[in-house]
Structure 1
Amino acid sequence: MVRRAKGEGTIIHDKNNNRYIWRLKYVGNDGIKYSKYLTAKSKKELMKKIGDYKKQGESNLDHDIKLIEWTSTWLNTIRPTIKVSTYDYYYMFLKNYINPALGDKRLKDLTALTVQEFLNGMLIKKGVKGKALSETTINGMRRTLKACLEYAFRNGLIKYNPVAATKGVRKVGHELYVLSKEQVKTLLATAAQQDYIYTDVKQIFDEDAGMEYLRKCYYYAIALDIASGLRIGELFALTWEDIDFENFTVFVRRNLQSRSNGRQIGSLKTLKSKRMIHLDEKTINLLKEWREYQNRYAKQYHSIFDNDINLVFTNSWGKMYNHTNFYRRYWRKLVKAAGLPEGFSFHGLRHTHATLLLLAGENIKAVSERLGHSSVSTTLNIYYNLVPNLQKHAADTFAKLDLL
């Protein structure tokens, strides 16, 4: 190991991997210690990298580039290299929250304290929809800003990434609102009737064939979701080839996503999300009913109905469902007509499926597999409030064994 003068960094020879490593320790404007590493196969190559890094840093650090200018450059640069969903994720946080608050600040003036105060302040502010921001949303802002400034750091625009020294806001356990068995029955009964579509409508209108198709489509979709716990994107990405009627199973292989470039069917959230779910006989029979109805509709309106990818649930033209249309014209009316709390989301059906199974004594690993969670610990973290009830169920089960 060769020691260099203060501020010059340290060069280490890694014999195991046959490479040279340069490490520079320094203190940022916020008083926090940081480290910069460069590696090369030869010492000569490493010295060149060190020289280039210092020259680039000395040149770029003289610039007064503002964050809002850099975020535009960053997004345009990385756009061809990332998924559309990732780009939309970054763009949304930058446009709605980060740039309005920090955009006029120069990159070299951003400190960990500045970023932390921004994140903490988001806890008491409302989002673009007028609702309080969740910890997940705020931590998404942190991840976005960290990735953005890391790119600036690697390109020599700043001496360090200030976000690296911040902490995500603390996640507070939220109480999940799930439906009781009686509420589930009420919801399904209401969804099966035509009346709910007239909720909050000043003038009654006649339901045409296309509207009837959508109403029935959403009824069967809701019934399947309650029985399976699918994510909404997984549900509306199902094709008839994914349903095994003989073995009472549904295969989850894809996910429907709404992105800036339109709706598309893509990959699942995680590898564990790809799964097979067993269904009960009544749910399978409902799917058979829906398939027969859809086939009759397709035959009658063959000139306009084109379900070319054989989706289980479609719009009245045979194409992918429209999220906005579903929520505005059907789901919100259905929630109110069924007497459910205002704001109850479709995702709540997934929580309801899991909760009812756990309270009935189902093994948490089996529930985790049905939900497609990456691990059982994820399921426990979400439904931790049910654990005391599960422990009581275990004790009651042991008592029934009458061993003592």
Structure 2
Amino acid sequence: MPKKGENIYKRKDGRWEGRYIKSRTESGKIIYGYVYARSYRETKEKQKAKIASYTSQILSNKNEHVFSNIASEWFESIKLHTKTSTQNKYYNMLTNYILPKYGDQPFDAITYDFIESHCKFLLESGGKKGNGLSPKTVSDVLTIIRNISKFAIRKGIYVANDANAVQIRQDIKPMRVLNKVEQSQLCEYILKNLKPVT
């Protein structure tokens, strides 16, 4: 006999009907699928097979959509239009500062707090010596994370946070202005050392 919550019912035509979650819309709304059989047991077996297939599909998609896999695809996609030096910079940042923390995370788990906490760690304890990275370097790390997140969104992957809201404060050093004596000395030097343009 069917148990409560199994979603298996006997139809008026004598057949048994089993309902299962087939998929979801982009907004998360459930789309149901149905199996039919002459007996409850056969319907139950068909329903179990469909549920197992759906669960396997979800797990497979989650594994495909972990950060490291998408980061790898993104890196390959930029090779055609970036200089070798830029590629090396991105590769080193991915290897040293990003993938150790983000690598096995699915995009729906990478929240604002996750990103902010990681940036704080890099600023305070990042780098080979553990003395912290410069705000400029952490900003560069964030730029890569943003680019990978945008790449994931273009592929139709749900991204919990694209890192745009996370900002790194950079202290701008005041510019030193030459005083009048120094300005005069500089002008005098330039005038004495003028060279004709050839």
Band of TM-score, shorter chain: 0.5 to 0.7
Provide structure 2 residue ranges, at least 5 long, that are not aligned to the other structure: 1-25, 28-56, 188-198
- Relative distance call for 1:133 and 1:78 in structure 2 (3 A) is same
Report the residue type matching 1:153 in the other structure.
I
Tell me the residue number matched to 2:61. Answer: 63
Tell me the residue number matched to 1:140. Answer: 140
Taking the aligned partners of 1:155 and 1:61, their CA distance within structure 2 comes to 18
Tell me the residue number matched to 2:178. Answer: 358
Taking the aligned partners of 1:61 and 1:74, their CA distance within structure 2 comes to 22
Contact 2:108/2:160 (8 A) holds in 1: no
Taking the aligned partners of 1:113 and 1:161, their CA distance within structure 2 comes to 9
Taking the aligned partners of 1:96 and 1:159, their CA distance within structure 2 comes to 23
- Relative distance call for 1:70 and 1:159 in structure 2 (3 A) is closer
Taking the aligned partners of 1:60 and 1:73, their CA distance within structure 2 comes to 20
Q: Deviations over 1:130-158 (max 9, x none)?
A: 54311111111111110111111111122
Taking the aligned partners of 1:132 and 1:88, their CA distance within structure 2 comes to 21
Indicate yes or no: 2:196 matched with 1:170. Answer: no
Taking the aligned partners of 2:59 and 2:170, their CA distance within structure 1 comes to 36
Taking the aligned partners of 1:96 and 1:66, their CA distance within structure 2 comes to 18
Taking the aligned partners of 2:79 and 2:169, their CA distance within structure 1 comes to 31
Query: What does 1:64-79 correspond to in 2, within 5 Å?
Result: 64=62, 65-79=65-79
Contact 1:93/1:141 (8 A) holds in 2: yes
Taking the aligned partners of 2:71 and 2:117, their CA distance within structure 1 comes to 20
Contact 1:146/1:161 (8 A) holds in 2: no
- Relative distance call for 1:133 and 1:174 in structure 2 (3 A) is farther
Taking the aligned partners of 1:60 and 1:147, their CA distance within structure 2 comes to 25
Report the residue type matching 1:66 in the other structure.
V
Tell me the residue number matched to 2:82. Answer: 82
Contact 2:107/2:160 (8 A) holds in 1: no
Taking the aligned partners of 1:93 and 1:60, their CA distance within structure 2 comes to 30
Query: What does 1:93-242 correspond to in 2, within 5 Å?
Result: 93-128=93-128, 130-159=130-159, 161-167=161-167, 169-173=168-172
Taking the aligned partners of 2:182 and 2:77, their CA distance within structure 1 comes to 51
SS of residue matched to 1:127: coil
SS of residue matched to 2:163: helix
SS of residue matched to 2:71: helix
- Relative distance call for 1:131 and 1:113 in structure 2 (3 A) is closer
Taking the aligned partners of 2:170 and 2:106, their CA distance within structure 1 comes to 30
Contact 1:60/1:156 (8 A) holds in 2: no
**TM-score computed with the length of structure 2 as normaliser:** 0.54
Q: Deviations over 1:381-400 (max 9, x none)?
A: xxxxxxxxxxxxxxxxxxxx
Percent identity, aligned pairs only, is 24
Structure 1 residues 75-84 or 143-152, which shifts more? 75-84
Contact 1:127/1:133 (8 A) holds in 2: yes
SS of residue matched to 1:63: helix
Contact 2:125/2:133 (8 A) holds in 1: yes
SS of residue matched to 1:170: coil
The offset of 1:160, in angstroms, is 5.8
Taking the aligned partners of 1:140 and 1:60, their CA distance within structure 2 comes to 33
SS of residue matched to 2:61: coil
The offset of 1:362, in angstroms, is 2.9
- Relative distance call for 1:102 and 1:72 in structure 2 (3 A) is same
SS of residue matched to 1:86: helix
Contact 2:109/2:160 (8 A) holds in 1: no
Contact 2:127/2:133 (8 A) holds in 1: yes
Contact 1:108/1:158 (8 A) holds in 2: yes
Taking the aligned partners of 1:134 and 1:71, their CA distance within structure 2 comes to 23
Report the residue type matching 2:125 in the other structure.
K
Taking the aligned partners of 1:131 and 1:117, their CA distance within structure 2 comes to 16
Taking the aligned partners of 1:60 and 1:154, their CA distance within structure 2 comes to 20
SS of residue matched to 1:157: coil
Taking the aligned partners of 1:158 and 1:115, their CA distance within structure 2 comes to 16
Provide structure 1 residue ranges, at least 5 long, that are not aligned to the other structure: 1-25, 28-58, 176-353, 367-404
The offset of 1:174, in angstroms, is 5.5
